Structure 1
Amino acid sequence: MLQTPALLAHAANLDLVIRHVLAGLGHGIHAGRERGAGVEFSEYRAYAPGDEWRRVDWKLLARADRYYVREAERDSHVAAWLWLDASASMAEPSYQIKGLDKLWTARTALACVAAIAQRQGDAFGLVVCGDGRAEVTPAARGPRQLQRVLAALARTSASGGLPDATALKTALRIAAAPAIVFAATDCLDWPSPLSEALQRLRHLRHDVRVLALRTQAEVDGSFPSGVAYREREGAATLHRLLATDRETYRDSAYAHFAGVAAHCRQHDIALTEARIEQPLEAVLRSWLRPPSARGARR
């Protein structure tokens, strides 16, 4: 039975959370197959000049009096890059579930993707964007790499703003090899150097998938009436959202995220919008879905 985000948010062991979430997922990052002279049979096709004779099916030749070769599939490894928005706005908590915030959900979702990549034998790396810096864990394979990535995620806290374009240059070096990029962010700072970096990666023909996380209160404006809050990024301004402000807030939020979705469609970036109060398994299932028809998925 799927545990609620409330229970998962209070689990101290990230490995156990990952195992629990992935137990019922049964989902991979990519198909992991390409045609060729592999070990797993796929189909027959007519012989063509240049085909290896060892791939000819001689028994089928005896029955059909024609040459056929066995088309097979072989594993194809694609590097997975995990991008985490660790700016101050990611510390926004849920007003429905105590102990749950956007950063926890983003870190845990990326940790699950890392575990899947390790299970598939793919290389994977991590880029943490926060406090004006981009910290890169180079891509590698294996259980030790998974522990390195999990440790980096566990020690990350939400602080400061996103890095500028200069700070992101090092992270963009991943463009040298084919990759699937999983970026977890709240998209509040969009467009931004981060969105421009993801756009560049997509234009270089990497598969870019953005997870836009919000709290339920951010979606529908259900913040407690009269509660004062301080802007987490930029000027430390004190705000107070009154009941009369909710409609204006909702209109503004809708317009902003409609713009994010339009930008992603324009640049062929797969966008998954989710609330942190949703079951993580359902969020991952949508985020991991191959974007055959790209666009916003809610």
Structure 2
Amino acid sequence: MLSSSSLVAHSANLDLVVRHVLAGLGHGIHAGRERGAGVEFSEYRAYVPGDEWRRVDWKLLARADRYYVREAERDSHVAVWLVLDATASMAEPSRTVARLTKLQYARVLLACVAAIAQRQGDAFGLVVCRGERADFLPAARGPRHLQRVLARLDGVDADGVLPAAETLRASLHFARAPGVVCVAGDFLDWPSPLADALLRLRRMRHDVRALCLHTQAEADAAFDTAPAYRDPEQGGTLHRFDSDAYARRRAAHFDTVARDCRRHDVALLQARIEQPPGDVLRAWLRVPATGARAR
């Protein structure tokens, strides 16, 4: 039987993996939107497959001969934004789980967040940082929009470097109203335009939640020292691997990432892609803004 991380690597159906990971996950992203008695009515919208029948307005059906769903919300409703680092370094594979990469793992975790947002009635949108550009999918609600987000995530390949600061700033125009921003990447490039954007969003009162992904081999500095390596994002120079120097520099780098996140009240979780994605998802949604590692 496949482990949950192996399922991420071997399944071509992102929706299937999301349903597997979310099985038994009971909590949401925030208190946010609620429905039911005593909650203020907001609007009607057309019924879409997946909506609960108890929310259909049957009197309006009798008058209009069409299905409509009542939307209601509290003032605490926020939008959820998914930000994916899809640069070349995210193609780094696991050395222990065949065909599993950091990008695959990040796509699944962000897809799960989108599914939770849809389940609790939030609007959600997507920004993919890849190849010096930022692809933007506006926020919307409902099952159909969830399928659009899953399809966009499923079609992403790792390529290039992060967009320039001006490109990211133009893509983050959703920052006008505070929301939840869930960012998944490896943060090997820090400080960076993406790091600056995250800190700026936090200053604008967004709840910024960063998921920093590693492979187990990266965490243990367990690489073959014989071959030479080329940086996939910089190109050019070949490097020989020195495990001791690598471990020191890596620790110093991610200490800086964690320190900057603590200083700016950004919730940071560091995790390995070989870990069960359901466990990492639970930890990511619960981690306080002080920096943490998933066990």
Same fold, TM-score > 0.5, yes or no: yes
Q: Aligned residue for 2:292?
A: 297
Q: Aligned residue for 1:50?
A: none
- Give yes or no for contact 1:30–1:290 (8 Å, CA) kept in 2: no
Q: Aligned residue for 2:128?
A: 128
| AA aligned opposite 1:238 | L
Q: Aligned residue for 1:186?
A: 186
State the Cα distance separating 1:144 from its structure 2 match.
Answer: 1.2
State the Cα distance separating 1:94 from its structure 2 match.
Answer: 0.7
Q: Residues 198-277 of structure 1 correspond to what in structure 2 (within 5 A)? A: 198-241=198-241, 245-277=242-274
Q: Aligned residue for 2:196?
A: 196
- Give yes or no for contact 1:38–1:74 (8 Å, CA) kept in 2: no
Q: Aligned residue for 2:276?
A: 279
Q: Aligned residue for 2:112?
A: 112
Give me the whole-angstrom Cα distance separating, in 1, the residues matched to 2:74 and 2:172: 29
| AA aligned opposite 2:83 | W
Deviation per CA, 1:55-96: give whole Å up to 9, x if none.
Answer: xxxxxxxxxxxxxxxxxx947321000000011000011111
The question of 1:18 aligning with 2:18 is answered yes
Q: Aligned residue for 2:153?
A: 153
- Name structure 1 gaps, 5 residues minimum: 41-72
- Give yes or no for contact 2:269–2:287 (8 Å, CA) kept in 1: no
Evaluate the alpha carbon distance shift between residue 18 and residue 159 of structure 1 in structure 2; reply closer, same or farther with a 3 A threshold. same
Evaluate the alpha carbon distance shift between residue 15 and residue 215 of structure 1 in structure 2; reply closer, same or farther with a 3 A threshold. same
Q: Aligned residue pairs: how many? A: 259
Give me the whole-angstrom Cα distance separating, in 2, the residues matched to 1:295 and 1:2: 34
State the Cα distance separating 1:8 from its structure 2 match.
Answer: 2.7
Evaluate the alpha carbon distance shift between residue 6 and residue 224 of structure 1 in structure 2; reply closer, same or farther with a 3 A threshold. farther
| AA aligned opposite 1:262 | R
Give me the whole-angstrom Cα distance separating, in 1, the residues matched to 2:202 and 2:121: 23
- Give yes or no for contact 1:103–1:158 (8 Å, CA) kept in 2: yes
State the Cα distance separating 1:226 from its structure 2 match.
Answer: 1.4
| AA aligned opposite 1:197 | A
Q: TM-score, normalised by structure 1?
A: 0.83
Q: TM-score, normalised by structure 2?
A: 0.83
Bigger-Rg structure (1/2): 1
Alpha-carbon RMSD? 1.9
Deviation per CA, 1:132-180: give whole Å up to 9, x if none.
Answer: 0011000000111111111111111110000011111222211111210
State the Cα distance separating 1:9 from its structure 2 match.
Answer: 1.2
Q: Aligned residue for 2:62?
A: none
Q: Aligned residue for 1:98?
A: 98
Give me the whole-angstrom Cα distance separating, in 2, the residues matched to 1:39 and 1:177: 22
Deviation per CA, 1:188-245: give whole Å up to 9, x if none.
Answer: 001100000010100000000000001111111001231333211113322232xxx2
Task: Describe the SS at the equivalent of 2:172.
Answer: helix
Give me the whole-angstrom Cα distance separating, in 1, the residues matched to 2:138 and 2:39: 31
Give me the whole-angstrom Cα distance separating, in 1, the residues matched to 2:28 and 2:165: 32
Give me the whole-angstrom Cα distance separating, in 1, the residues matched to 2:130 and 2:164: 10
Give me the whole-angstrom Cα distance separating, in 1, the residues matched to 2:200 and 2:146: 27
Moved beyond 4 Å, runs of 4+: none
- Give yes or no for contact 1:216–1:277 (8 Å, CA) kept in 2: yes
| AA aligned opposite 1:20 | H
- Name structure 2 gaps, 5 residues minimum: 41-72
Give me the whole-angstrom Cα distance separating, in 2, the residues matched to 1:156 and 1:280: 19
Q: Aligned residue for 1:142?
A: 142
Task: Describe the SS at the equivalent of 2:167.
Answer: coil
Of all paired residues, the percent bearing the same amino acid is 63
Deviation per CA, 1:3-29: give whole Å up to 9, x if none.
Answer: 331233101111110000000222211
